[in-house]
Amino acid sequence: MTKESLKNIGTGILFSMLWASASVATKFGVQSAPPLILANIRFFLAGLVLLGYCYGWSRNKIYRLPTATEWKQLAIFGLLNTTLYLGLYVYAMKFTAAGIGSLAVSTNPLLIVLFSSWLIRRRPTSAELLSIFLGMSGIAFATYPLLHDKSTSFLGIGLLLLSMVIVSFASVYYARIKWTLPNLLINGWQVTLGGLFLLPVICTFADFQSFHADQTFWYAVLWLSLAVSVIGLICWFYLLKIDTVKASLWLFLCPLFGFFYAWWLMNEPITWYTICGTILVILGLYIGQRQRQKKQTL
């Protein structure tokens, strides 16, 4: 095995580990701060690091200011991908077990297939519909026992699924734009703009009295900002650059890492419902990715 192959495998494993940790880190963070305040501080910190690197620390001339058209595209993408998706996701985690949050995120590629078919007015294939059915069934199966011990509520699941629909739509929108900006700059601006769009909502509805900037909060927000939003996305963009289909295969590991973190750090139980639900989601992902790979080889 070559050094390049080992580097790619290491990057893929690192991405899966970081991406899966977001739900547990969020669960810790919402113990000390209202969800939207936690989310917005995360957005601005990640944006500060990314834009600071692009415009300050890096002397590469490709990091320029966006054009008028690009500002509009970044604003739409930031609204969908950061304000709505991550805002809803963080809020949903207050009412949802950490393992379920990680499992739900892994269904994102399945929903992207559905939205892509809808936008180009193509009927989804039977394999695509089966993959989506298996993914959603897996979430329902893993969630069922958690509804009885009140660690997860129907409100949390509803908000979580709505956030998955929005991020899938955001991913399709991103793919349809012919971006000329570097990936780091796109991510830096979209997360910053998304945070700005969320500010009026926070000022109107957030409960600032329940905000405690203790160690738990700062550990959570620093991990979400730097490890997940910065390092995790750098790994993801690197994997996408090599091979889009192979990159998405690393999402298979996210549910496994997610439930392990939830069990290890938050004492969430791993039951047969958890195992069977995870298997269904991974099977759905496998069928969906296999279908995409067939299309790309035709």
- pLDDT, one tens digit per residue, over 54-69 is 998 877 778 899 999 9
More confident residue, 216 or 127: 216
Half-sphere exposure of 195 (CA within 13 A, CB side): 18
pLDDT in tens, 121-155: 667 778 878 888 888 898 888 888 888 777 788 89
pLDDT confidence of residue 171: 83
* pLDDT of 291 strictly over 80: no
pLDDT confidence of residue 276: 92
pLDDT confidence of residue 207: 86
Give the Cα separation of 28 and 26 in Å (integer): 5
Mean pLDDT across the chain:
87
Task: For the full predicted model, state whether its pTM sits above 0.95.
Answer: no
pLDDT in tens, 21-80: 999 999 999 999 999 999 999 999 999 999 999 998 877 778 899 999 999 999 999 999
The total number of structural domains in the chain stands at 1
Written as one letter, the residue type at 190 is: Q
Domain that holds residue 259: 3-297
pLDDT in tens, 105-123: 877 777 777 777 766 666 7
